[in-house]
Amino acid sequence: MTIPDEIKALKLELAERYYEGVCFVCKKDRGMVRGRKAKQEGGNMTFHHKRYIANDVVHSNYPKNSSGTLQYYKDLAPLIRKNPRRFIYLCSPHHQAVERLLRYGENTMKSLLICVKQSKK
């Protein structure tokens, strides 16, 4: 089994066991379950930390290569198994959206949401 296949298998096992295998936001699996290449559906899936704890497993602390990514998910898996409510399973576009929104302060976020609700397309 190749490293990318190992990563996909581990992510898929965790996603199906704890998150019904679909993005919390759009309820799509983005190709992970159906076996299609993820890019056909708009990106990979990931586990978003709702909150970080001291000495947490953080992707940026791992080498930016396949081996580093595999080790990250191997280290993250026990944390997800122990407390799956600490994480949200998201497709890449929605994970990026959440990360961008987190950059705003609470007051700005509230104002932005009011703007969105008042805007019509």
Question: Are the C-beta atoms of residues 46 and 30 closer than 8 Å to each other?
Answer: no
pLDDT in tens, 13-28: 999 999 999 999 999 8
pLDDT in tens, 59-96: 999 999 999 999 999 999 999 999 999 999 999 999 99
pLDDT value of position 65: 95
pLDDT value of position 38: 44
What SS3 class is residue 46?
Answer: strand
pLDDT value of position 52: 93
What pTM does this model have?
Answer: 0.83
Q: Kindly give, in sequence order, each residue whose CB lies less than 8 Å from that of residue 38, ignoring residues fewer than 6 positions away.
A: 30, 31, 32, 44, 45, 92
pLDDT in tens, 31-56: 555 455 544 444 589 999 999 999 99
pLDDT band at 121 (very low <50, low <70, confident <90, very high): confident
Phi, psi of 5, rounded to the nearest 5 degrees = -65, -40
More confident call, 38 vs 29:
29
CA distance 39 to 98: 20
